[in-house]
Each structure stands twice: as C-alpha cells, then as structure tokens.
Amino acid sequence: MSSPLVMRIMSLSINTAKRAGSIIRDVMQKGNLGIVEKAKDDLQTEADRSAQQCIIASLSKQFPKVNIIGEEGSSDLNVSHDWLVTEMDLEFLSKTCPSDLIDVKDEDCIVWVDPLDGTSEYTQGFLEHVTVLIGIAVKNSPVGGVIHQPYYKHDTGEVGRTIWGLKGIGCGGFELKTAPDDTFIITTTRSHSNPIVQSALEALSPSEVIKVGGAGYKVLQLLEGKAHAYVFASPGCKKWDTCAPEAVLEAAGGTLTNMFGDHYEYHVDVEHPNREGVLATIGTISHSDIVKKIPQNVKDALKK
Ligand code: AMP
Ligand code: MG
Ligand code: MG
C-alpha cells in the first residue's frame, strides 16, 4: 500500500527543493542572472524562474490533482528530463504519518512554493540568506514544510542543507536550539524596511536586532537559537513566503501569525499578500505578550 499523500508530497518536496537549490547555484555560477523588476523592490532572476519550473513540473507530474501555487506565476510543465525530480526521500517516507493527516485528500492540499526566497540578497551576494520554500497546507493551515538552503556550508565542506517540519512529527535536517532567555533578540528584514516596521521594533525594546534576508532564513534564526522573534510590520510578505516557515516553526513548538496574533489562511482562493504583517516567535516566549506591545499606529497602518 502506498504511503499517505502528505508523506509522499513531503518526501518528493525534499528532493525537489534540493534540485532547485542546485539550479540556483548553477545560474549564479554561469553569472547571467537575467534580472527582471516585477514591481518596486521585487526582483526576479533566471534562478527564480528555473527553480520554480523544476519544482512545479516535478510536483504536478506526481500529484496532478493537488493545487500548487508558485510565486512566479504559471510555469511551463515541459521541462527537460534533467529538471524533473521523480525520486522521493526514502528516509522521510519511512516515517509514521501523524494520525490526523493519514486521510488527507488531493483536493484538500495546497502547496505554496517560493522557488527562491531572498532574491534581493541573491543578487547582492548574501548567498547564505537564500532558501527554497515548499509549504503544504491542508485546507486552511500549513501542516508541513521544506526549507532548503543551497549555500549552507557544512564543516565538512559540503554545500547545502534541507530542513523539514511536519506537525505531529517535529522537524529535522538541523539541530534545533533555543535562544537564551536572558536576552530578547529580534530578526527582521534587511531590504524592505520602512518607518512602520521600525516603530514596531522600537516598541519591543529588543536587546539586539538581526537584519537578514528572506522569510525562510529569518525563521531559521529562530529554529537555530539565534533569535526569539521575527517581527515584520509590513504587508510585503506573501503566502508562499510564510507557508513552509510557519509549518516548520510550529512543528518545532513556535508560532507564526500576523501582527495581531491571528493565523493566516492558506486555502486556494486566499489573497496572496500577508497584509497584516508577520510575527513569529519561539515556544519559550509569549506570543500574545508581543502582540499586546504593538503600538496603535502600527496596527492602524496594517489594517488600512
Ligand atoms: P525580507 O524580509 O525583506 O527579505 O522579505 C521576506 C519576503 O517577503 C521576500 O520574499 C521578499 O521578497 C518579500 N517582501 C517583503 N517586503 C516586500 C516588499 N515591500 N515588496 C516586495 N516583496 C517584499
Ligand atoms: Mg520570498
Ligand atoms: Mg521568491
């Protein structure tokens, strides 16, 4: 008997994210990034386009009835054999599916794909910040996610790592750590700040602010014990930025919501922008205490 759908999607997503990561490295190595400005402060490169094609084609081929939404719009599914990933990660596939996910049907799944999160950083050479994000929502909520870092450097010299999380199992691919409770460290944007983003940070009086690119990489700061909270009081992030990070963080005991403390919905017809900002915290600090400290001018700006 074949494994439950969610386990198969996760297992194929792990290998597909790795392949997308190698495409991202190849584009950089060849040096012709083919930068297009989609909107103000919103770039797309050949790596975003190619990585998305690889991911969407590979997942759609094996899961034709599952809704898949990628940042870069509709993709040509006729990709070269070389870009089509067909093998699942067998180690993940051998895990026991959480009982509440065993009977999930194709039509209940929405896969949110950010083929390259941190494009600004990619074009500026901050390659560690780049991630590939594949998030699996069931009906309205993210349950599983893959965060691949194509440029992560292992001590052995090997490059790239793949982090996964599934609610009911936990997470893997890295060593989960908790930031010390005698400090309060916030991670936030390095390339999309504005006065409202700043006033939310100031109201929280952090002991340190770590400015890095990408929603994926910021949630990794939380998972690796480098920060307590990810605070971004801006409508700039989209559902593909937060689906995988939310699933992985929550599988590890944290919380990711809007700046009002409410979870976003991830159904197929939902609007893409996360208009009410992003607030993520690790499990050892109070999410609601942070929500209470957000000043009214910030709330008003996000509710517009
Ligand atoms: P950042 O934290 O600035 O690296 O942003 C995290 C994700 O949200 C990235 O995918 C960004 O491209 C996206 N994002 C954040 N703010 C904006 C914005 N003002 N315009 C376009 N994309 C944004
Ligand atoms: Mg992104
Ligand atoms: Mg992207």
- Cα of 240 vs centre of ligand 2, distance in Å, is 7
CA of 96 to the centre of ligand 2 (A): 31
Report the residue count for the chain: 304
237 lines ligand 1 (CB under 6 A): yes
Which residues neighbour ligand 2 (ion) by CB within 5 Å?
Answer: 114, 117, 241
- By C-alpha distance, which of 41, 40, 50, 90 is closest to 70? 50
Q: Which ligand neighbours the alpha carbon of 72 most closely?
A: 3
pLDDT along the chain (304 residues), means of 10: 94 98 98 95 96 98 98 89 97 98 98 98 98 98 98 96 98 98 98 97 98 98 98 98 99 98 98 98 98 97 88
Alpha helices in 138-277 (DSSP H): 195-203, 215-223, 239-251
Closest ligand to residue 71's CA: 3
Distance CA 51, CA 27 (A): 10
What does DSSP assign to residue 288? H
DSSP code per residue over 168-204: TTEEESS--B---TT--EEEE-SSS--HHHHHHHHHT
Which pLDDT does position 77 carry in this prediction? 85
* Domains by residue range for the chain, with CATH: 5-169 (3.30.540.10), 185-303 (3.40.190.80)
Tokens of 281: 């915290």
Kindly list the catalytic residues: 48, 119
How does DSSP assign 205-237, residue by residue? Answer: --SEEEE-S-HHHHHHHHHBTS-SEEEE-STT-
Please indicate whether residue 224, judged by its CB atom, sits closer than 6 Å to ligand 1. Answer: no
Judge whether 26 and 90 are in contact, CB under 8 Å.
no
Residues near ligand 3 ion, CB 5 Å cutoff: 71, 114, 116-117
Q: Are 161 and 154 in contact (CB under 8 A)?
A: yes
Atom in ligand 1 nearest the alpha carbon of residue 191: 3
Distance (Å) from CA 13 to ligand 3 centroid: 16
Q: What is the pLDDT of residue 183?
A: 98
Q: Does ligand 1 come within 6 angstroms of the Cβ of 221? A: no
